Amino acid sequence: MLKVEVDLQRIKDNCLNLQQKTTARIMAVVKADAYGHGLEETALCLAAAGVEHFGAGSVQEALCLRKVLPRVRIYSLLGPVEPEDYKSLSPFKIIPCIHSQEQFRQLRTVAAESGEPLPVALKLETGMNRLGFRPQDLPGLMDLWARSPGLELDMLASHLCMADVSGGEAQVRRQLQVFMDCSRFFRERGCIFQMSLANSAALLAYPETHLDIVRPGISLYGDNPFAGTHLENRGKCLGQAMQVSAPVLAVHELKKGQGVSYGLCFTAPKDMRIAVIGCGYADYYSRRLSNIGWMFYQGSRLPVLGRVCMQLSVVDATHLSGLVPGEQVWVLGGLGPGMVSAREMAGWLGTISYEVFCLLGQNPRTYRNG
How much is the pLDDT for 303? Answer: 98
Percentage of the chain exceeding pLDDT 70 = 100
Average pLDDT of the chain, as a whole number: 96
Q: Is 12 left (phi over 0), alpha (psi -120 to 50) or beta?
A: alpha
Contact 8, 47 (CB under 8 A): no
How much is the pLDDT for 186? Answer: 95
How much is the pLDDT for 146? Answer: 85
For residue 73, the Cα-to-chain-centroid distance in whole angstroms is 19
Show which residues are catalytic. 31, 262
Global pTM reads 0.95
The Cβ of residue 91 has, within 10 Å, a number of other Cβ atoms equal to 11
pLDDT band at 34 (very low <50, low <70, confident <90, very high): very high
In 3D space, the residue among 9, 32, 76 whose CA is nearest the CA of residue 356 turns out to be 32
| pLDDT tens, residue by residue, 235-276 | 999 999 999 999 999 999 999 999 999 999 999 999 999 999
Over residues 36-59, the mean pLDDT reads 97
pLDDT band at 115 (very low <50, low <70, confident <90, very high): confident
Say which residue, 145 or 362, is predicted with more confidence. 362
List the domains of the chain with CATH numbers.
8-231 (3.20.20.10), 242-368 (2.40.37.10)
What is the rounded CA–CA span in Å between residue 81 and residue 236? 38
Strand segments (E) across the chain: 3-7, 25-29, 53-56, 73-76, 94-98, 118-123, 151-157, 194-196, 213-214, 242-254, 259-260, 266-267, 272-277, 294-297, 300-303, 313-316, 328-332, 365-368
Instruction: Specify which residues 275 forms β-bridges with.
Output: 251, 315
| pLDDT tens, residue by residue, 158-206 | 999 999 998 999 999 999 999 999 999 999 999 999 999 999 999 999 9
Over residues 90-114, the mean pLDDT reads 92
pLDDT band at 321 (very low <50, low <70, confident <90, very high): confident
How much is the pLDDT for 307? Answer: 98
What is the rounded CA–CA span in Å between residue 352 and residue 348? 10
